[in-house]
Structure 1
Amino acid sequence: MRVRLDHLVCWVSDQLVSLHFYERVIGLPGVRAEEFREGKAPFPSVRITPTCILDLMSFEVTRGVDEGTGVHGSAGHQINHFCLAFGKEDFDALKLRLKKHRVEITGTGTNSFGAQGIAPETIYFPDPDGNVIEARYYE
């Protein structure tokens, strides 16, 4: 069986603020960002990998989400955290951007297990809505 993660959805209070954060601070390219800014798309996304995106969905559109997913109470729940794996050089650059944008690193770890094995270093930090992001690199 071949299964891949296609997308994640994060609930955000201000889609433009979140888009700026994910594009400028984390360094992920926007998807449908211009269409969203022009009012032609209901939400922006950012690309994590060639086959995976993160949708930035406004809390305000939570009406109808339960009906759409068929799961009562699914609207507006944040996940515990999600993890982005970087190359070592990009990981170090991310830490500098976080500092430049005054984003606090709220946690760190070493030798943490993940999808690709053991990561020598991990950091945790919040996005503007308190969604927790873990960043790591693998050797």
Structure 2
Amino acid sequence: MDARLDHLVCWVSDQLAALRFYEEVVGLPGVRAAEFRDGEAPFPSVRVSPESIIDLMAYEATRGVDEGTGVGGSAGHPINHFCLAVSREDFDALKVRLKEHGVRVSGTGANSFGAQGIAPETIYFADLDGNVLEVRYYD
């Protein structure tokens, strides 16, 4: 099987604030952002890679999620964290943006195992809704 991550859904309290955070602080481009702002899309997303996006879903949307997934109690569950792999240059630029925006790096790591092997350095921080991101680079 050759599988790829298509999308991840993060529950957020303010979709526009979350969109700004992921665009301006994390540095991911918005997807359907204009359509969302114009009321034509139910939620905005940000692009992680050509094949993967993060959907920014309002907590209010939890109504009906159980029915949609067919799994009772599946709505609004937090995840421990998700990880983005970036270049070393983008990693260093992200650390600068986090500091400029007053976002606290809550943890760091070295020689951490991931999908592409061992990453020399990782950082952890929370978004506006407490979703924890890990960002790393590989040599």
TM-score past 0.5 threshold:
yes
Structure 1, residues 66-118: CA drift from partner, whole Å, max 9, x if none? 00001111101111000000100000000000000000000000000000000
Unaligned runs of 5+ in 2: none
1:20 counterpart residue number: 20
Q: Which amino acid aligns with 2:53?
A: I
Q: Which amino acid aligns with 2:96?
A: L
1:60 counterpart residue number: 60
TM-score by length of 1: 0.99
1:111 counterpart residue number: 111
Shift in Å, 1:2 = 1.3
Q: Which amino acid aligns with 2:99?
A: K
Unaligned runs of 5+ in 1: none
| 1:40 correspondence with 2:40 | yes
1:97 counterpart residue number: 97
TM-score by length of 2: 0.99
Q: C-alpha separation between the residues in 2 aligned to 1:88 and 1:40? A: 37
Q: C-alpha separation between the residues in 1 aligned to 2:41 and 2:30? A: 13
Identical amino acids, percent of aligned pairs: 75
Cα RMSD (Å): 0.4
